[in-house]
């Protein structure tokens, strides 16, 4: 009889615990349905959040400045000067993650500052939310005319893959590949591995999607034209057909020689075929490549732009 009473009591306790757990989960569901969040749920970042935030820490610009649609223009720094300082957000560098180890993710972006000369000074900025608003937390200088491939947040490290000026490089033409790691609260970066000369294989990793043609015309938002680097060749989808084009590195890290592209033989709608022909003709003329604010840019031997790609969203 005593054993039976204990079993009944334990069952009652278990049932009560399960009921309380069910009530708690149901309450969370109601909160979520009402558009509310619990402290443990991370807020999402949108591009518009960082394109309209306040930033600071840019050398030559005192205090903070407020971006409007990703851009800020100030007053001339010298009386009577015609040029005005500008800061642009490089949209394709946005990365999110728990860089500070808290419950909510931070955002990391790269800013490009110009003061009227040939220099373009890049800065890595990390933002957090305070009372729901995006606020710049820390800023680091990356250098003049660096080429940013991508920004990532892994654990509590912000990683920047980029090409910078190496020993003997002119500022216009960097050739040193490096991955730098930054940590919130630390002033200095740390190189991940040894810096080395940039190479054609550095294009590899992401799948690149066409964004603009050489004349600046925007590609269709749902463009299926893509490019990646694998086995010493550029390959991807030309719009209708798959293609592969052998490559050979040139005398410098940014130069390349293209072999004629081989493609499959499907037929698609006339507009798609015209776009595909335009792409393959531009690709055949590519003689130089570079990273540009998180994008991949291909240009002709004379430097005229041909094609610009963004990383395919994950």
Q: How confident is the model over 158-213, as pLDDT tens digits?
A: 999 999 999 999 988 999 999 999 999 999 999 999 999 999 999 998 899 999 99
Of the candidates 232, 233, 255, 253, which has an alpha carbon nearest to the alpha carbon of residue 242?
233
* pLDDT of res. 287: 96
Per-residue model confidence (pLDDT) at position 92 = 97
| pLDDT (0 to 100) of residue 10 | 45
pLDDT reported for residue 314? 66
* Structure confidence at residue 1 (pLDDT): 44
Closest of 115, 112, 144, 109 to residue 127, by C-alpha: 109
pLDDT of residue 19: 38
Weakly modelled stretches of the chain, pLDDT under 50: 1-43
What pLDDT was estimated at residue 16? 41
- In the prediction, which pLDDT does 11 show? 41
Are 153 and 184 in contact by the 8 Å Cβ rule? The answer is no
Most distant CA atoms of the chain, gap in Å: 99
pTM equals 0.83
């Amino acid at each position: 009889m005593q054993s039976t009473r204990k079993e009944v009591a334990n069952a009652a306790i278990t049932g009560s615990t399960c009921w309380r757990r069910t009530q708690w989960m149901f309450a969370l569901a109601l909160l979520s349905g009402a558009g509310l969040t619990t402290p443990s749920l991370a807020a999402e970042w949108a591009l518009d959040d960082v394109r309209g935030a306040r930033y600071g820490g840019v050398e030559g610009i005192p205090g903070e400045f407020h971006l409007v649609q990703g851009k800020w223009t100030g007053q001339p720094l010298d009386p009577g000067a015609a040029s005005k300082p500008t800061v642009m957000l490089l949209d394709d560098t946005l990365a999110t993650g728990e860089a500070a180890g808290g419950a909510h993710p931070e955002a990391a972006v790269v800013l490009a500052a110009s003061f009227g000369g040939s220099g373009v000074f890049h800065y890595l900025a990390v933002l957090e939310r305070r009372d729901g608003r995006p606020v710049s937390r820390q800023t680091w200088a990356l250098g003049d005319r660096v080429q940013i491939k991508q920004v990532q947040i892994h654990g509590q490290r912000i990683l920047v893959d980029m090409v910078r000026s190496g020993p003997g490089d002119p500022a216009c033409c960097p050739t040193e590949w490096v991955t730098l790691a930054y940590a919130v609260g630390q002033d200095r970066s740390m190189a991940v591995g040894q810096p080395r000369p940039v190479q054609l294989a550095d294009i590899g990793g992401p799948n690149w999607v066409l964004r603009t043609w050489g004349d600046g015309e925007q590609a269709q938002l749902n463009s299926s034209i893509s490019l990646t680097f694998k086995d010493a060749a550029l390959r991807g989808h030309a719009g209708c057909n798959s293609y592969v084009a052998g490559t050979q590195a040139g005398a410098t890290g940014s130069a390349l020689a293209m072999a004629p592209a081989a493609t499959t033989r499907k037929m698609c709608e006339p507009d798609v075929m015209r776009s595909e022909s335009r792409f393959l003709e531009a690709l055949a003329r590519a003689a130089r490549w570079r990273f540009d604010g998180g994008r991949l840019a291909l240009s002709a031997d004379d430097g005229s732009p041909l094609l610009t790609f963004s990383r395919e969203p994950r």
